[in-house]
A and B are shown apart, each in its own frame.
Chain A
Amino acid sequence: MTMPFRGPAAVPLVLHVNGEDFHVFVEPRRTLLSVLREELGLTGAKLGCGHGQCGACTVILDGETAYACLTLAIDCEDREIRTIEGLMRGDSLHPVQEALIAHDGYQCGFCTPGQVMSAVSLLEHNPRPTDDEIREGMAGNVCRCGAYPNIIASVAAAAELMAAEGD
């Protein structure tokens, strides 16, 4: 009986996630999202669409947002991967997280980890975004519940919080 072509077998890989090294053994066809969720148990990033349209899988890769569902895990060795799980310091929330709670910047919450990572990255690149820059910066993250007005307000409030902390 012939078996289908299944691609190369699993390879060893070291992933640097939230400041920690993880040794995994995965097939080259695996996405970063699938490895984060299934091998590392980091289920914060979600699979919403699998084709880079919804942003629920957003992580920060070498300082830039990336769709983990469209990123191969083997392309991530020697790169700095940040996920929602690495954002809190002990029990203290990141200002973006605090602002989302205060402004109800979510509803069902499924897109929220991706929204948080996009907002964190946006504010790292542009600490004082205008309303239009917030909209542009968050345009890669779908919220089907339509929490957008509160997401915009949350990002603006987080910018204020971070500016106050920096003072």
Chain B
Amino acid sequence: MPKIRKTKVEFEGRIEEREVIVEEEHVETWPRGATLRLVGKPTPRVDGVARVSGRALYTHDVQLPRMLIGRFLRSPHPHARIKAVDSAKAEALPGVALVWHRYHPAPIATLEGREIFPEEVAYEGAEVAFVAARDDRTAEDALALINVTYELLPFAFDLESATAEDAPKVLLDEGNWVSREGDVYQRGDVGTGLGDADEVVELTFTTPIASHCCLETHGSAASWEGDQVTVWHSTQSVFGTRSSVADALGIPMDKVRVISDYIGGGFGSKWGAEPYTLMAILAARETRRPVKAVLGREEEHLAAGYRPGSWQRVRLGAREDGTLTLIEHDAKVATGAFGGGGPVIGGPSKDLYACPNVRTVVRTSRTNADHARAFRAPGYVEGTFALEGAMDALAHKLGMDPLTLRMKNYAEMSPSRGGPYTFKGLRQAYEMGAERFGWSRAVPTDLPNGQGPWRRGRGIASQIWGGGGGPPANAIVRLLPDGTAELSVGVQDIGTGTKTVLTQVAAEELGLPLEAVRCIIGDTLPAPYGPGSGGSVTLASTTPAVRSACREVLRQVIALAAVMLGLEDASVDDFDVERGDIVYRKDPDRRLAFARVTAKMGDYTIVAKGARGPNPDDKAVNTFGAHFAEVAVNVETGQLRVERIVAVHDIGRVVNPLTATSQVYGGVMMGVGYATTEERIIDPATGLQLTANLEDYKVPLVTDTPAIEVLFVDVADTEANSVGSKGLGEPPIIPVAAAIANAVFDAVGVRVTDLPITPDRLLALLSRASNAGFSKEVE
């Protein structure tokens, strides 16, 4: 029976207590070292053939009879007032079905309380008009025929210009500060920490604006049948999209079906209904034809989110022996014209080290840009770069090994929550990584192109993240008469391999081969609620629900088997399931093959629902990791080569080592891009993006791939949930930039505090260091 319970759930650095309905059948946790048949084995993806054959259908690929294409006209100015829109010529163009804008609005003109076509446009790329036409060429021709009269307004393109005295107003009716006093966390006392310190380091860091660059740009398609709408949406949350569509249209949820079968990347940027979603839905209703609206690559840079840039100052104090007495972390971010609170940049400083005196502040300002969005470990990527860079500087100042300093300040208990962790494997991660990397050995000298101008160095950085997941999350399992099973979960696979791990867990629990379980996800129609794929929660939230549903299926099968074995009076608990047999525990000779029971079912389908249970009340559930980086720096050209990364992560039990390793590869590559090449550049004179394409915004290529070695602590976190696993989507990007920057310091003695570490930045720092008397001791 469902019960209402309170449970604490962590999401991207914020902990909230939720009242949730839980109905998890008690499922025994798989113990550490349990012998499992499928879980823990490298398993190629169950949908691999669809992915390699071009048959996988993404939102971009939706093509329906008579479908129209929707496109937006977008503001070419960072801040302007729209005085007039003349769309007569566009409307007259053959093949154009409709044109909507401020003066000819769609039937619904707001989304989440914001006007879709406001008078005041506050960023380059803001929606100005929408066209639906028979194909994309006609739609583009129509856009070119729309005349807009803009009154240009002053703009603030970055944090500095938005927070200066007399800064232009980002929005005419709002102050530029979203939070001037900031989001503050404090424990102990900064003054005490400073007084207790023998050594203090203080460093200022900046991090760039980073674009998600999902290869599948954001998009939706919509088709109505009567009063019901089907929405294909490239999203990390089909259920979140269903709610937001129903809200926006003011229609009941049962009239909305959301499908997201294959998703071409999300990384935090793809959630609920967006202006293109709502316009496609409304245009489809208006024209009685399906409508698809997807963004172009430039629009993706302008209007689909980004990781905000940051300014950060970190002050650390420590005793001579390395014991931290103080962590002070001040951050400022700019989150766009409609930015909400900033990301949790102070998260790592709160929790990575045992330190009695900690104060973190994150101040948030508006800028004339689209709103910032979550991007793979939001806040923690930025905050870890600063904290772990400062820790490295502190280690050098104290004359301590950077790894020793981290071990010295190891937090056995959760510093911010005060209580214990369900499991913390960071110490093991440090030890395994140091061993594999050869941390204690000398820096290898076989440098590229001989010694010449190349210098090699090594650095480390560590990481904490959530990923414990929690309720609500449900699963439905149907056992069919031929002994195969259908598993239905309301999640989506954004590329992490979700479908495969869900299949593994169900097949494991049911005692079936992997091929006998079909997993259906990415569709709100067949599935009960499942969480969005964010915060690294998917696996830890849903796999326990799958186990729970499978247990319930087995109970029903056992009840049938009991009758067939003439054991009507026996309790369900008197039976075990062993290698495809139902076995009576008191007399193991009385057994019945699973398949014989299902064969008896005729046309009957066993259906069972399972739910995720609550999180442990008084313990923190977190993931941890340590990265070791080796780099080579050319002191003449400023060229930086990331040569090797050893990445060790504690995520509890590893369900699929093959796809888990892929997640780490992906996080490391994205971290390498963030550290070395990726940066949104905005022209101060015009406030326009100069990098709104994949030529100038430099994502990593295969040629940038270092040697990456992936290790897992792989100890089941048996107190976290019944599977013993935690999430991995975000952790592997977190420590990458810090580890690389620390390795650069080790190589050439300059500390790069501004990302990305481009050749021009490195050269400028090297020449400054050289003028100041080149020395590794200079801090």
- CB within 8 Å of B: which residues of A? 1, 3-4, 6, 27, 29-30, 34, 37-38, 41-51, 53-54, 56, 83-85, 87-88, 93, 96-97, 100-102, 104, 106-113, 116, 135-136, 138-139, 141-152
Contact = CB atoms under 8 A, between A and B. Distances in A.
B53 A88 contact: yes
Contacts of A145: 265, 495, 666
B52 A101 contact: yes
A45 to B, nearest CB: 7
A6 B141 contact: yes
A108 B264 contact: yes
Contacts of B695: 51, 53
A152 to B, nearest CB: 7
A149 to B, nearest CB: 5
A4 B694 contact: no
B226 interface: no
Q: Among the interface residues A27, A111, A142, which one has the most CB atoms of the partner chain B within 10 A?
A: A142
Given A50-B297, A150-B665, A144 B137 contact: no
A38 B63 contact: yes
A144 B701 CA distance: 9
Interface in B11-53: 44-45, 48-53
Given A38-B63, A108-B264, A84 B53 contact: yes
A112 B705 CA distance: 18
B263 interface: yes
A60 B480 CA distance: 44
A8 B727 CA distance: 55
Interface in B163-221: 212-217
Contact of B215 (A54, A97, A135): A54
B137 A139 contact: no
Nearest to B495: A108
Given A93-B53, A149-B665, 7 more contacts: A53-B695, A88-B53, A101-B45, A106-B495, A108-B215, A109-B51, A145-B666
A44 B54 contact: yes
Contacts, number: 174
Interface stretch (B535-543, B622-630, B667-675): B667-675
Contacts of B88: 1
Given A85-B54, A108-B263, A46 B215 contact: yes
B564 interface: no
A3 B89 CA distance: 8
Contact of A142 (B63, B212, B661, B701): B701
A110 B265 contact: yes
A41 B50 CA distance: 16
Nearest to A101: B48
A151 B145 CA distance: 45
A89 B243 CA distance: 43
12 contacts: A1-B88, A37-B63, A41-B63, A93-B52, A97-B53, A108-B265, A109-B495, A136-B703, A142-B694, A142-B699, A146-B670, A148-B665
B253 interface: no
A1 B92 contact: yes
B557 to A, nearest CB: 32
B693 A135 contact: no
B765 interface: no
B659 interface: yes
Interface in B635-666: 658-659, 661-663, 665-666
Nearest to A84: B54
Contact of B495 (A102, A107, A138, A150): A107
A144 B213 contact: yes
A3 B92 CA distance: 9
- Which 4 A-B pairs give the minimum distances between C-beta atoms? A44-B54, A146-B669, A110-B264, A108-B495
Given A107-B495, A145-B666, A146-B668, A49 B702 contact: no
Interface in B487-506: 494-497
B304 to A, nearest CB: 13
B667 A146 contact: yes
Contacts of A149: 665, 705, 708
B599 interface: no
B297 A43 contact: no
Contacts of B701: 139, 142, 148
Nearest to A116: B52
B54 A113 contact: yes
Contacts of B145: 4
Interface of B: 44-45, 48-58, 60-61, 63, 88-89, 92-93, 135-137, 141, 144-145, 212-217, 262-265, 267, 296-297, 494-497, 658-659, 661-663, 665-670, 693-695, 699-705, 708
A164 B48 CA distance: 23
A109 B58 CA distance: 10
Contact of B144 (A4, A87, A142, A150): A4
A37 B292 CA distance: 14
A102 B52 contact: no
B585 to A, nearest CB: 40
A160 B663 CA distance: 26
B215 A56 contact: yes
Contact of B702 (A30, A41, A109, A152): A152
Contacts of A97: 49, 52-53
B702 A141 contact: yes
A144 B265 contact: yes
Contacts of B297: 48-51
A148 B669 contact: yes
B306 to A, nearest CB: 14
Contacts of B670: 144, 146
Contacts of A42: 54
Contacts of A142: 215, 694, 699, 701
A142 B700 CA distance: 8
A83 B215 contact: no
A30 B135 CA distance: 11
Contact of A46 (B216, B659, B702): B216
Nearest to A91: B49
Contact of B700 (A1, A45, A146): A146
A34 B140 CA distance: 14
Contacts of B216: 46, 48, 108, 110
A133 to B, nearest CB: 11
A56 B667 CA distance: 21
Contacts of B708: 149
Contacts of B61: 37, 43
Contacts of A27: 137
A15 B702 CA distance: 32
Nearest to B700: A146
Nearest to A134: B702
A46 B88 CA distance: 34
A142 B135 CA distance: 27
A152 B265 CA distance: 20
Nearest to B135: A38
Contacts of A6: 141
Nearest to A27: B137
Nearest to A137: B702
Contact of B694 (A47, A53, A107, A146): A53
A110 B53 contact: no
Contacts of B93: 3
A72 B152 CA distance: 38
B694 A112 contact: no
A106 B55 CA distance: 15
Contacts of B705: 135, 148-149, 152
Nearest to B266: A108
B57 A43 contact: yes
Contacts of A83: 54
A83 B215 CA distance: 19
A104 B660 CA distance: 10
A3 B670 CA distance: 46
A101 B264 contact: no
Contacts of A41: 63
A102 B662 CA distance: 12
A158 B669 CA distance: 23
A112 B51 contact: yes
Contacts of A87: 53
